[in-house]
Amino acid sequence: MRARVLEEQVRVEARRFYDGGALPDGDSPEVPPAPGHAPRIVLERHAEQEIEVFSMERRLAYLDRHLGELLVPAARGFRTDLTSVPALFTWLVPKTGAHLPAALLHDGLVGGEDGASYVSTEGHRLSRVEADRVFRDAMADTGTGVVRRWIVWSAVTLATIFVGSGTARTAWGRWALRAGVGATLLLIVHLGYSATADLFDRSWPLAWQVPWMGDRSWWVEVAGGLAAAIVVPLVLCAAWGRFWPAGAIGGVMLAVLLHVTVGLAVITLGYQAVEWVARRAPWAARLLLVGVVTVALATFAWLVGS
């Protein structure tokens, strides 16, 4: 079945999610799905290799507009990390929330053992591309905002391009797509790096002269950089082929949030470094704290008194 990458906005229908019953467990028989009954999300927490994951004690059912009934998990032993989002971006897409049922559904569709494709109740075999489309529609049915669900869909589509199935008919086509997508992302990052060097009037290694910056007032250069962060990804998304909507959205998000992401990454790494020191050498952590406070007080006093 050909995956539907870009379609008109779906109409929100919350009742498409319903109780999926339960898988058989030992002497307990299977509990069939119950259309018309609200979904029951029952999770059990597990710590596997110091990673927090959850199992689903009840199945989740979703009536897809094109594939009919989807039941997850398909087998016992399924694990989910809820919404798979890097810690740096949980301010934009939290791990849980209104979109949680859709996130659990998506994990169940793509998390088959040994990479096996999910097969729906009606016998449809889903590729990851189709699972991503289901995820986007399901987020709409949970009331997730339009902007957030398209951002999330773009992120999972990027993952699918590099590790999933259904992106191209041949292996050569898949690798060509990956090369094109990877090149556009690297180019966007490098252009952002070059524009930042120009903004601060610095000659950084490998930085290019970008025409939208130039020797202008700082606010004009900032405006030019923001405009380029929108226009350039919209041009480069052509390299994403039929996934161009994900390329446009993801590229713009990467370009616009590049500096925010770098800042958050630095803060996160600093925090993790302090935690590492505090666990292994508490005395060093206390010494570091005293040093930071002393420097802060001295700097504050100097600035106020000058």
Report yes or no: 224 and 187 within 8 Å, Cβ to Cβ: no
Rounded to whole angstroms, the Cα distance separating 113 from 260 reads 37
Q: Compute CA distances 218 → 20, 185, 192, 195, whole Å.
A: 57, 26, 16, 12
pLDDT digits (tens, 9 = 90+) for 169-212: 899 999 999 999 999 999 999 999 999 999 999 999 999 999 99
Rounded to whole angstroms, the Cα distance separating 64 from 10 reads 11
Rounded to whole angstroms, the Cα distance separating 270 from 262 reads 12
Q: Where do we find the tokens 């790096």?
A: 193
The length of the chain in residues reads 306
* DSSP 8-state symbol, 156: H
CA 244 to mean position of chain CA atoms: 17
- Among residues 282, 203, 275, 187, the alpha carbon closest in space to that of 236 is found at 187
Rounded to whole angstroms, the Cα distance separating 246 from 10 reads 18
Residues ≥6 apart with Cβ < 8 Å to 204: 193, 194, 197
For the entire predicted model, the pTM comes to: 0.86
Rounded to whole angstroms, the Cα distance separating 241 from 264 reads 31
Q: Is 3 left (phi over 0), alpha (psi -120 to 50) or beta?
A: beta
Instruction: For the chain, report the end-to-end CA distance as a whole number of angstroms.
Output: 71
Residues ≥6 apart with Cβ < 8 Å to 302: none
Query: What per-residue confidence (pLDDT) applies to 111?
Result: 80
What is the number of other CB atoms lying within 10 angstroms of the CB of residue 306?
5
Query: What per-residue confidence (pLDDT) applies to 7?
Result: 53
Query: What per-residue confidence (pLDDT) applies to 38?
Result: 94
Report yes or no: 230 and 255 within 8 Å, Cβ to Cβ: yes
pLDDT per residue, tens digit, the chain (306 aa), is: 444 555 556 788 889 999 999 998 878 898 999 998 999 999 999 988 778 899 999 999 999 999 999 999 988 889 999 888 887 788 888 888 999 999 999 999 998 654 557 899 999 999 999 999 999 999 999 999 999 999 999 999 999 999 877 899 899 999 999 999 999 999 999 999 999 999 999 999 999 999 999 889 999 999 999 999 999 999 999 999 999 999 999 999 999 999 999 998 999 999 999 899 999 999 998 999 999 999 999 999 999 987
Q: Which two tokens stand for residue 51?
A: 């990673």
Which residues, listed in sequence order, are joined to residue 19 by a DSSP beta bridge?
34, 60
Q: Kindly tell me the sign of the dihedral angle through the C-alpha atoms of 141, 144, 146, 152.
A: negative
